[in-house]
Chains A and B, each alone.
Chain A
Amino acid sequence: MAKQSYAQALVDGIYDSLAADDRASMIGSYVLGLGPQRNLMDRIREDFPDRIVDPPTAEAGAAATGVGAAMAGMRPFVDLGTGSFTYLAMSQITNEAAVSSYMSNGRISAGVTFHLLHGVRGGGAAQHSHSPQSMLCNAPGLEVVAPYSAADAYGLVRAAFQSQNPTVIASHAKLLGIETEVPDKKSVVTIGKADVKRKGRDVTIVANSLMTHYSLLAAEQLARDGIDAEVVDMRTLVPLDEETILDSVKRTGRLVVVDECPLRCGIASEVSASVAEHGFDLLKAPIARVTRAHVPVPFSLPLEEAITPDPAKIAAAARKVMKNG
């Protein structure tokens, strides 16, 4: 199978979505940030010049434009830029788009797609390293996806454009250049379905976004110690695919949840609670969470490393779970 970078697949997904639906458009085209992949967007700029606008530095205004246009039947993709800037558009996303279907008794929908570059990108310090997904997951009515592989980036962006619901796509800034295998013909990926990326007998590692990449690396380290880890890639955070996760825990009896959002009320907390609630009897040992510490992100490298999950921390957590039962 051929390999493709996350960035390239995301761009292909946006391109094909624009080609497939005249109602689709882009508000903000700096989807790939300032990194070396940013020029991949040029193909879209050249082929769909009248369906791309770059807004002022006005996240609330850009988001509101997308939400309003979606309510009027269009399919806008709004790029929010660095994940931290999502907060400036929080009301438009959570209190306008997310609630539109429910509060209209199902008569209005806001099929807008938001994209943000989340995560500890390296030297971003406290204000440019956020992973706002867990806050967004707390807004009923929003679909939230955080893919890891190139194929899923493609498939989920296609699904987001097609969805009647407001959908947030969180891409980790450090994933953009990472290449993974893609099929000859990439296809739509259903929102709400997790994927077992690696089969294993001893311990389930549930992760998403860049943390799935790190968990797969951790699984290789663990294999050298004779621990056979199964890695479940969440892909979608809301709706949560509890079935696939519980199914895996049924096989392994042990769970490590990995996520880059801060610990408290994060994605890892939600997955842990869900398994504790519905799969308590399946567990041979207490669940472990590996997340960003509940600390703002510092600039200096040794401080940044101290609070951020990495493959070694994930492997250490899995070893501890193995020891505990």
Chain B
Amino acid sequence: MPTPLPDDVAWRLLESMLLIRRFEEAVLRMSQEGQFRGHYHLYIGQEATGTAVMSVLEPRDRLNSTHRNHGHVLARGAEPGKAMAEILGKATGLIGGRGGTIHLCDPDLGFLHTSGIVGGCISLGVGGGYACKQKKDGSVCATFFGDGALEEGVSFEALNIASLWKLPVLFMCENNSTGSWAPGEGYPTLVHASTDLRLIPQSVGIRTMRVDGADAAAVREAVSDAVARCRRGEGPAFIEAMTKRWPGSNPLWPEPATGVTDIRIATGETQAGGAHKDWIENHDPVLRLARALAGGGNDARTRLYALDAAVKARIDDAVNFAIDSPLPAPATAFDHVFA
């Protein structure tokens, strides 16, 4: 059992997790309204992982992210309006509308790159760690990737190099494969001959930990330990954060399978129902932390509802900002090919 979070930390983490949840619900709604094009990936069900990692990292640290990046950039503190504008391809987006949902990235916050190429992130993270080590400033590079990234050969090369050279890299593996694809649908990612992904980094001598990725306290504890070791020069660490796949992610395109999250489920004022009752009651990381905090009595319940209302208002503002923002001028398409 992880050490319980201090109250103020827990509320802070919950706010970040709620922000991600309400953001993703808005993205899903806007996609269904046809507000943007292209394939996209939501972070619902994994909010605790990204939020807890960011709560440990310092401003000097570096990161990189994947196709499933919305939660990472928001938890690190990116402006939700700019993130939403990026998804709509607007000029005010984090990267001017050039990347869209798959490439949300805020270089001001230490993001090196957000790659949609599976295996791209884990390997570039090693370069980030190399830079941190050269700088000798005690910084680390946290690199996020899914279980699928370990199917790519370059991941092995990256792990080997990081271990050989004792690079300060936090390999943050988000394993959301617990819950399966329907046959013939979606990406066939469940294709590891190994039944324990930790064996792969272990084979090159990297320290590994496995945590419940829906438990913010557990992730925070594991990451604190791993990052401290990285800073001390003990080399890379690998954390496998396990989450039960959000039912809305099972089909090819995200679907509102669990509806708009009703925060009152956390206080018992409403009951979870429907086909995905089990996921909502037992695996939803936002409701899980909210439930733990709301147990603190009437004041806590009032605080929870007020927090949710404030977060919703922030997301409404973000959506309006994004919708009202201009598209980039066509002539700017030719800018920045070279730095």
Contacts and interface: CB of A to CB of B under 8 A. Distances in A.
Contacts of B99: 125-126, 299
Contact of A299 (B100, B119, B149, B152): B100
Size band of the A side of the interface? Answer: 35 or more
Q: How large is the interface on B (under 10, 10 to 19, 20 to 34, 35 or more residues)?
A: 35 or more
B116 A300 contact: no
Interface in A50-74: 54-61
Contact of B153 (A60, A126, A294, A296): A60
Contacts of A301: 37, 89, 327
Given A299-B89, A300-B89, A123 B334 contact: no
B98 A303 contact: yes
Most buried by A among B98, B331, B337: B98
A122 B89 CA distance: 12
Contact of B90 (A34, A122, A126, A300): A300
A303 B333 contact: yes
Interface string B139-156: 000000000110111100
A176 B293 CA distance: 52
Contact of A84 (B39, B100, B117, B337): B117
A127 interface: yes
Given A34-B252, A57-B148, A124-B38, A300 B100 contact: yes
Interface in B174-211: 184, 187-189, 191-192
Interface in A256-304: 293-296, 298-304
Contacts of A303: 89, 97-98, 328, 330, 332-333
Nearest to A127: B116
Nearest to B149: A57
Contacts of A45: 184
A309 B30 CA distance: 29
A58 B117 contact: no
A307 interface: yes
Contacts of A58: 151-153
Contacts of B103: 125-127, 299
A95 to B, nearest CB: 15
A128 B116 contact: yes
Interface string A37-48: 000001001000
Contacts of A123: 36-39, 89, 100
B111 to A, nearest CB: 16
B195 to A, nearest CB: 14
A88 interface: yes
B38 A125 contact: yes
Contacts of A20: none
Contacts of B36: 123
Contact of A306 (B91, B118, B119, B333): B333
B102 A307 contact: no
A125 B98 contact: yes
Nearest to B154: A88
B38 A126 contact: no
Contacts of B163: none
B98 A126 contact: yes
A305 B89 CA distance: 13
Contacts of B188: 54, 56
Contacts of A300: 89-91, 93, 96-98, 100, 327-328
B115 interface: yes
Could you tell me the dominant secondary structure of chain B's interface residues?
A: loop
B327 A56 contact: no
A298 B100 CA distance: 9
B84 to A, nearest CB: 14
A45 B39 CA distance: 25
A294 B337 CA distance: 9
Contacts of B152: 57-60, 88
Given A122-B37, A123-B38, A299-B99, A57 B329 contact: no
Interface string A212-234: 00000000000000000000000
A290 to B, nearest CB: 16
Contacts of A293: 333-334
A56 B193 CA distance: 10
Contacts of A55: 191
Nearest to B189: A57
Interface string B27-54: 0000000001111000000000000000
A54 B117 CA distance: 19
A309 to B, nearest CB: 13
Nearest to A87: B117
A125 B101 CA distance: 9
B314 to A, nearest CB: 24
Contacts of A84: 117
Nearest to A41: B184
A116 B289 CA distance: 44
A46 to B, nearest CB: 11
Given A56-B192, A57-B151, A128-B102, A302 B330 contact: yes
Contacts of B119: 57, 88
A126 B114 CA distance: 12
Nearest to A121: B38
B115 to A, nearest CB: 7
Given A126-B98, A300-B90, 18 more contacts: A54-B188, A57-B119, A57-B189, A57-B191, A123-B37, A293-B334, A294-B337, A299-B38, A299-B103, A300-B96, A300-B97, A300-B100, A301-B37, A301-B89, A303-B98, A303-B330, A303-B332, A306-B334
21 contacts: A34-B252, A56-B188, A56-B192, A57-B151, A57-B187, A57-B189, A58-B152, A60-B152, A85-B117, A88-B152, A122-B38, A123-B39, A123-B89, A125-B98, A298-B97, A298-B333, A299-B98, A299-B103, A300-B97, A301-B37, A303-B332
Nearest 10 pairs between A and B by C-beta? Answer: A123-B38, A300-B89, A299-B100, A123-B37, A300-B97, A56-B151, A306-B333, A56-B191, A306-B330, A303-B333
